[in-house]
Structure 1
Amino acid sequence: MKRILGLVSILAAAGLLLFMFGGYRLGLTVHTVSQRMPLYGGMEDMMLPERPSIGYLLPGERCVLVQQAAKAIPASRVRCGEREGWVTEIDAFDPPIAF
């Protein structure tokens, strides 16, 4: 029982540290936007034409990869300053986002 409680305590502390220091980033590589592209609030929003983008990423903005997924299309979730959302144009970054 003590061993289980010790393991739970370690996992809780690790989760707290991840939350406090940026969450679940896939890498520390900073990607610079090289061409204007739409930023979507959810992965499903990219596939439905009636759901508009939440904004646009402009050339020169610096982003960090947060998550990747593939349903009907491959997509990457990026954090660019205070904004966070999904993009499909992974070649529009310098360096390109690997999928």
Structure 2
Amino acid sequence: MRALILKKLLMIGFLSVAFMGINRTAQARNMTRWVDISCDQGRCESVKIVSPVYFLHRSSEGDLWTVEADCERGRTRATYSDGTKARWLLVPPGSVGEAMLEQVCR
């Protein structure tokens, strides 16, 4: 139960926390490799673009889930490993989610 709550909180945090600076290599800018988006006490959340509308999110514990982007409506939703899908969430301006949406939707 705690892990599920943590995953959901991390997803919300992913969408609302200001985007952290990333490595300036082309692969990091394009997010074709894992890029740390937020770190706390040496534990990092990472993302990687895997298609024109999907990216993977990896928690510091190693959990993976897919995030789908709706470019036209400016929103995202997570699909977890058990197949459940979160509700669509609007991406707040200036958030990590907005930065990811820009990367995926360009």
TM-score with structure 2 setting the length = 0.29
* Structure of higher RCO (CA pairs closer than 8 Å, 6+ residues apart): 1
Q: Which has the larger radius of gyration?
A: 1
- Normalized against structure 1, the TM-score is what? 0.31
